[in-house]
Amino acid sequence: MHKSPTTKHHSGSIRQAVLSGCSSPDPSVVTNISVEVAHQYYGFKRRYPLQGPTQGLKEVFHSSSTFHCSAAPINCSLAHYLFPSLPFPFQDINKRLSLPADIRLPEGYLKKFAKNSPPFDKPLSRRFRRTSLSEIGFGKLESYVKLDKVGEGTYATVFKGRSKLTDNLVALKEIRLEYEEGAPCTAIREVSLLKNLKHANIVTLHDIIHTEKCLTLVFEYVEKDLKQYLDDCGSIMSVYNVKIFLFQLLRGLAYCHRQKVLHRDLKPQNLLISDRGELKLADFGLARAKSVPTKTFSNEVVTLWYRPPDVLLGSTDYSTSLDIWGVGCIFYEMITGRPLFPGSTVEDELHLIFRILGTPTEESWPGINTNDNFLSHNFPHYDGEPLITHAPRITNDGHDLLCQLLQFEARRRICAEVALRHVYFRDLGEKVQDLADTTSIFSIKEIRLQMDPGKHFPAQRELGEFKYLPGF
């Protein structure tokens, strides 16, 4: 087939468009390319000249026995633009099966899907969807490669791995199944909740693999947690970065609370930080769905340092305010580089809280004088001190927000949704308030992390230190 001098340029333009995610290339480029480009990038065996954007493509599709996209990830909108005569829209497959955008579908799968799937105006059956995902490679251990073991806990071991479906790094959280007890309740909670939580500030659960001896949760790979981030910057974070992280924490938490989900275990180790600066809530093993008010929850939740005083004093009648106290403690820790209430026992924790915030009274905490646990400890009277004296780098607006997060009485604590609108976040701009749930704050070009004053570079870190992955 004769090539004009411009054909190579056009093919390169299309290739660039495919790989860069362009959805509407120049029509003149589309008109002049040959299906040779489709052969190179999408697996067509034959070449057909293309005099117009749609001519001959239906024939190409139906004559090809090797239509696939393993050579390069398909950009769905571009593929449908280039190949509009295909009997189905690419993006609908991703949407209907909830596939990642960079998925590499097996050879021949798209053709098979188009042949066997119901019309696009009708829903997929559970059986068809499950079968389709299995054919692609989901739910199978062989679709993932283990790389490094990075941590081990009572019930689970976490590995860094790689997905053969996308070629991306993943975190493989292997939960051991005891013969008599089955899956730990924490694993069941984590799976059931994360399957329905889709947000830019919540770690993504990509896949679930169940074998006789093990339940493997496949998470997105995130470089480190907030505790490691603080260590890397010598516990001196940029105050602007503190604001960006706090906003993302509240944003993810507000979404959880709208879904009636309480995290119940907020701490720096359960907040993952990507290289870009995206913060993601992780480790939902203690999380609970709370659809109606109840008094049946355990008070043995939340790591001691981030546990609110009402829970420390035995309350099981709690709601979203449980998580809000933890947000306040984490905010303080980011701005100062040290934990706010590092108690060693419940009583010690309460002493630390009252020493800084003052011993509660009926005025500051109605009903406290009838709380048996509070009375039994016979706490001394502490006047308390302004939090700003312990956190000199915090602004007046930041101090106001911190005080609203750390209220003794649960119902007086600011909720996550309202906190996002606090004046403290005003200099992030209005755009951050209108993002779609799955859109990163860093999609706004003005939002970028600053260099932390005490930043340690990778060469200064000890050899052998591993990166953090979803908790176990």
| Mean of pLDDT values over 287-316 | 67
The pLDDT of residue 150 is 85
Ramachandran class of 137: left when φ > 0, alpha when ψ lies in -120 to 50, beta otherwise: left
List Cα–Cα distances, 228 to 50, 145, 198, 400, 421, in angstroms. Answer: 54, 26, 25, 27, 28
Alpha-carbon distances of 108 from 15, 61, 105, 135, rounded to whole Å: 22, 11, 8, 11
Annotated binding site for ATP: 173
∠ CA 425-469-465 to the nearest 5 degrees? 105
Percent of the chain with pLDDT over 70: 61
Mean pLDDT of 303-329: 91
Strand partners, 281: 202, 271
Q: What is the pLDDT of residue 121?
A: 52
Query: Around Cβ 60, how many Cβ atoms within 10 Å?
Result: 23
pLDDT at 118: 55
Q: Which range has the worst mean pLDDT, 233-242, 282-291, 330-339, 420-429?
A: 282-291
pLDDT number for residue 197: 86
| Contact in structure between 358 and 382 (CB atoms under 8 Å) | yes
For residue range 39-84, list pLDDT tens digits in order. Answer: 443 443 333 343 443 333 333 333 333 333 333 334 444 444 444 4
CA distance 121 to 159: 41
CA angle in degrees (0–180, nearest 5) for 266-389-450: 60
| Cβ-Cβ contacts under 8 Å for 399 (sequence gap 6 or more) | 386, 387, 388, 391
Q: Which residue has the higher pLDDT, 363 or 290?
A: 363
C-beta neighbour count of 122 within 10 angstroms: 8
Give the per-residue pLDDT at 349. Answer: 96
Q: What does each C-alpha distance from 290 to 199, 257, 317, 417 come to in angstroms?
A: 19, 9, 11, 17
Q: What is the pLDDT, as a whole number, of residue 464?
A: 38
| Amino acid code (one letter) for 336 | T
Q: Check whether 345 has a pLDDT greater than 70.
A: yes
* Phi-psi domain of 413 (left: phi exceeds 0; alpha: psi -120 through 50; beta: other): beta
Give me the mean pLDDT over the 205-234 stretch.
Answer: 89
Mean pLDDT, the chain, integer: 74
Cα(62)–Cα(54) distance, integer angstroms:
14
pLDDT band at 16 (very low <50, low <70, confident <90, very high): very low
Q: What is the pLDDT of residue 138?
A: 57
Residues carrying an active site annotation: 265
Q: How many residues does the chain have?
A: 472
Is the pLDDT score of 11 beyond 70?
no
Average pLDDT, integer, range 291-318 = 69
This prediction has a pTM of: 0.69
Per-residue model confidence (pLDDT) at position 156: 79
Give the per-residue pLDDT at 462: 39
Q: Is the pLDDT of residue 314 over 60?
A: yes
- Report whether 56 contacts 35 (CB < 8 A): yes
Q: Which domains does the chain have, with CATH numbers?
A: 7-125 (no CATH), 141-220 (3.30.200.20), 224-460 (1.10.510.10)
* pLDDT band at residue 289 under the 50/70/90 scheme: low
Query: Highest-confidence range of 40-44, 103-107, 354-358, by mean pLDDT?
Result: 354-358
DSSP assignment string, 255-298 = HHHHTTEE-----GGGEEE-TT--EEE---TT-EE-SS--S---
SS3 content of the chain, % helix, strand, coil (to 5): 40, 10, 50
Query: Residue 140: what pLDDT?
Result: 76
Q: What is the pLDDT of residues 396-406, one digit of tens each?
A: 999 999 999 99
pLDDT of residue 122: 56
Taking only the tens place, the pLDDT of each residue in 118-173 is 555 556 565 655 555 454 445 677 788 899 998 787 677 889 998 887 778 999 98
